[in-house]
Amino acid sequence: MQPPTLARRVTVVPLRDPAVEAHGFAADSEYALRCYLPLIGPSSWLVYSRLALLAVSADRTIVDVVELAREIGLHPRLGRRDPLAQSLGRLEAFGLAEWRHNGAEYAVRLCLPALGDRQAARLPHSARLFHFSAVHGGDAR
């Protein structure tokens, strides 16, 4: 649920999921980089990486979204068509984060689940091989 308008400040919190944390991949892992980046795109990946780092280091962090946009090279403007808002929505669509409390809080996963076979099929060949090796101990042939 993306908020109607992106506020200037958003509280970032960890999204805890014991099942994923027990069997998933750390946000800064090679799996996360090689398998999620091609799916969510570079802007969303930079946003996710930055917010996951904040979420892992504190229970709550207030983020100035204009400053965040500038830090990762996105044009800072507030609104639905804002590149940062679109990246945040993409993270939510892929289950890497979720809005809470009517858009006042943005919860970010600290660990990522393994991709499903359908998502893995969309990966470039080398990333697909890496995925199958990491998840199934085999290859994608």
Would you say residue 4 has pLDDT above 80?
Answer: no
Mean pLDDT of 85-89: 91
Would you say residue 6 has pLDDT above 90?
Answer: no
Of the given ranges (3-7, 46-50, 95-99), which has the lowest mean pLDDT? Answer: 3-7
Would you say residue 98 has pLDDT above 70?
Answer: yes
Residue-wise burial string across 2-24, b where 16 or more C-beta atoms lie within 10 A, e elsewhere:
bbeebeeebebbbbebeebeeeb
Tokens of 135: 């998840």
Q: How confident is the model at residue 15 (pLDDT cuts 50, 70, 90)?
A: very high
Containing 25, the helix (H) or strand (E) segment is strand 25-26
Looking at residue 91, its pLDDT comes to 96
Mean pLDDT of 1-28: 85
Would you say residue 47 has pLDDT above 80?
Answer: yes
Residue 90 backbone dihedrals phi, psi, to 5 degrees: -65, -40
Q: How confident is the model at residue 18 (pLDDT cuts 50, 70, 90)?
A: very high
Would you say residue 3 has pLDDT above 60?
Answer: no
Q: Are residues 15 and 107 in contact, defined by beta-carbon separation less than 8 angstroms?
A: yes
79: region left, alpha or beta (phi > 0 left; psi from -120 to 50 alpha): left
Mean pLDDT of 81-102: 91
Q: Global pTM?
A: 0.88
Containing 1, the helix (H) or strand (E) segment is none
Helix, coil or strand: residue 113: coil
